[in-house]
Chain A
Amino acid sequence: RKEVEQDPGPFNVPEGATVAFNCTYSNSASQSFFWYRQDCRKEPKLLMSVYSSGNEDGRFTAQLNRASQYISLLIRDSKLSDSATYLCVVTPPGRDDKIIFGKGTRLHILP
């Protein structure tokens, strides 16, 4: 099983729709979780951290399910500017100085 696994997509979604991504991780002792977004040929940028209790930032909601070892990201009322690759990121246990990226899920918002 890969350390961090994501559906590569692409997800083609009409503007205004709700879209959800899942990500699974292999090490049950992983401690920190993040969603980054990456635009084409650009650097990854932090979208949000993922907390055990779940967290929301505007149109974005992140959830963590430790029992099933998956993380989700929900985007409501999607906008054209949400088109990007969404990267699931996990910190291995005891190694806060290293993060492991998933390959990313590509999202295309259609006008």
Chain B
Amino acid sequence: EPEVTQTPSHQVTQMGQEVILRCVPISNHLYFYWYRQILGQKVEFLVSFYNNEISEKSEIFDDQFSVERPDGSNFTLKIRSTKLEDSAMYFCASSTMTSGEKTQYFGPGTRLLVL
């Protein structure tokens, strides 16, 4: 069964450093998403991406964040100048959004720890 993959599974970084989280969505999916989940809290929407541009972003997704689809398979989230409060699990998801199929499939996540 096709699945979303994410790398790395864990990332430890120093405050102020830049990190890039990588995702490979399911191959025939057209919509891509990033979510984060701070420990003990709910899953929060960050951004959705379609046709090589951001289609929606939340108030969390400020200038510190950016997304990119550098090639036909990868979808990345870049966090510039990381802060302590960026420590969280980051999930990538993808969906087809065709014929009423709206299900989003999630990757296993990257656990980011900012020290």
| Chain A positions near chain B (C-beta within 8 angstroms) | 32, 34, 38, 41-46, 49, 87, 91, 95-104
Q: How many A-B residue pairs have CB under 8 A?
A: 48
| Chain B positions near chain A (C-beta within 8 angstroms) | 31, 33, 35, 41-45, 48, 50, 55-56, 89, 91, 97, 102-109, 111
Given contact pairs A42-B108, A43-B107, A43-B109, A97 touches B42 in the complex (Cβ within 8 A): no
Chain A: minimal CB distance from B104 (Å): 6
What chain B residues lie within 8 Å of A44 (beta carbons)? Answer: 43, 91, 106
Given contact pairs A49-B103, A91-B102, A96-B97, A43 touches B42 in the complex (Cβ within 8 A): no
Chain A: minimal CB distance from B32 (Å): 10
Interface contact A103-B56, CB-CB below 8 Å: no
Given contact pairs A43-B109, A49-B103, A97 touches B91 in the complex (Cβ within 8 A): no
Complex Cα distance A34/B103, Å? 9
